[in-house]
Amino acid sequence: MNKVLGQVDKKGGRLYPWLIRGFQKALNDFDLHDMELQGYPYTWERGHGTDRWVEIRLDRALVSTSWSDIFKDAMLVDLKCSTSNHCPILLEPKTVMNVTRNRKLKFENAWLREPVCRQIVQDSWNRHQYASLYEKTSTCLEDVSARGHEFTENFKQRISHWRKVINSTKGSRNVEAVKRFQE
């Protein structure tokens, strides 16, 4: 943005408050605020070394509250430049890292009844046959965790199916259905 927000943004020259009021109202209407500039406060100059020398902070970064919440550690820095009457500014957005803890896999003994799970465990254990017990266990848990969806994704469907089978066999001695349930 290349505008003056207040008289404090200007050193020397005439005042022009009528421009400032309209600009401040627009910023308020859009919930924007000026980022603090690190370093020298003025980014533009004219008449350097004369009695008409004017310095103004024209260059700025306007951000919303939601943007500030995401980039809490962002910085706006002035970069020194001797070839122009404008000093470039650099916006360094730094996001705050949300650290999420890895959920530890809790192995369920019921998984061993699942052929896919049993195969994953056997393959992992055999693939690392010369590793220590700790290494075998760690890699086995990683493998089970990576492929766990293969044997857990349809638990609810299977439970619902077998509840129906059990309910349909109540009162009767349907041995075949009970055997299938126990498998």
- % of residues, the chain, pLDDT over 70: 73
- Residue 34, pLDDT > 80, answer yes
Q: Helices 133-147 & 115-127, crossing angle to 10 degrees?
A: 140
Please, which pLDDT band fits residue 149 given cuts at 50, 70 and 90?
A: low
What type of residue is 92?
Answer: E
Reported as a single tens digit per residue, the pLDDT across 14-24 is 776 666 677 78
Please state the length of the chain. Answer: 183
Distance CA 165, CA 171 (A): 12
> What letters, b where the CB count within 10 A reaches 16 and e where it falls short, cover 20-37?
beeeeeebeeeeeebbeb
Mean pLDDT value of segment 70-99? 78
Q: Where are the beta strands (DSSP E) in the chain?
A: 10-11, 32-34, 37-38, 44-46, 54-56, 62-64, 75-78, 89-92
**In the structure encoding, which two tokens stand for residue 113, read together?**
């009844």
* Residue 151: pLDDT over 70: no
pLDDT, residue 155, reads 66
More confident residue, 47 or 98: 47
User: Can you give the pLDDT at residue 179?
Assistant: 59
Answer yes or no: are the C-beta atoms of 101 and 86 closer than 8 Å: no
Using a 10 angstrom Cβ sphere, with 0-12 exposed, 13-18 middle and 19 or more buried, the burial of residue 18 is exposed
Calculate the dihedral angle through the C-alpha atoms of 163, 167, 168, 171, rounding to the nearest 10 degrees: 150
pLDDT surpassing 80 at residue 110 = no
Evaluate if pTM is beyond 0.75: no
Q: Name 89's bridge partners.
A: 78
Q: What is the mean pLDDT of the chain?
A: 77
Q: Which residue has the higher pLDDT, 166 or 71?
A: 71
The pLDDT assigned to 172 comes to 55
What pLDDT does 12 receive? 87
User: 11 pairs with which residues across the strands?
Assistant: 55
Q: Helix axis angle, 155-169 relative to 175-182, nearest 10°?
A: 160
